[in-house]
């Protein structure tokens, strides 16, 4: 079963809008949550990450919000650009089992 769940499966926003991508998990031992960005024909690449000791991580237009009690995260992309069109994967790993588990991904399309 999927240890990490993402929603929505696909999302379309207009240029300049804020895109919100959601992620949840079950395993309470997970303590590190990276988000990866994947363009067609390429492998995923790390975009931004957060550890369980924080509730927010910001990097430019990208912000992760983390709710440990509810085991939920969200990635907010503000002022979305057509170049942000990609598939975004939420992942999770535990300090005692380093192999990250990935969600099914959210395909984001930003229309100009």
Q: How far apart are CA 25 and CA 101, in angstroms?
A: 10
The residue ranges of DSSP E strands in the chain, in sequence order, are 4-7, 10-14, 19-25, 30-38, 45-51, 56-59, 62-67, 72-77, 86-94, 97-102, 106-111
State the residue for tokens 């939420």. 90
65 binds another protein (CB under 8 A): no
76 binds another protein (CB under 8 A): no
The residue range among 23-31, 61-69, 77-85, 89-97 that interacts with another protein, by the rule CB under 8 A, is: 89-97
For residue 47, the minimal CB distance to another protein (Å) is 11
State the residue for tokens 């979305």. 80
6 binds another protein (CB under 8 A): yes
Closer to another protein at the Cβ: 19 or 92?
92
Closer to another protein at the Cβ: 46 or 58?
46
Query: CB count, 10 Å around CB of 78?
Result: 14
100 binds another protein (CB under 8 A): yes
- Residues near another protein (CB under 8 A) are 2-3, 6, 9, 32, 34, 36, 41-46, 49, 89, 91, 93, 95, 98-105
């Amino acid at each position: 079963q999927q240890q990490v769940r993402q929603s929505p499966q696909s999302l379309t926003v207009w240029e300049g809008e804020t895109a919100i991508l959601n992620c949840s998990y079950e395993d309470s031992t997970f303590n590190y949550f990276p988000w990866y960005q994947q363009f067609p024909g390429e492998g995923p690449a790390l975009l931004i990450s957060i550890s369980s000791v924080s509730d927010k991580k910001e990097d430019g237009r990208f912000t992760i919000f983390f709710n440990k009690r509810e085991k939920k995260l969200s990635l907010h992309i503000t002022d979305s650009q057509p170049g942000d069109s990609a598939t975004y994967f939420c992942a999770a790993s535990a300090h005692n089992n380093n192999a990250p588990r990935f969600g099914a991904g959210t395909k984001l399309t930003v229309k100009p």
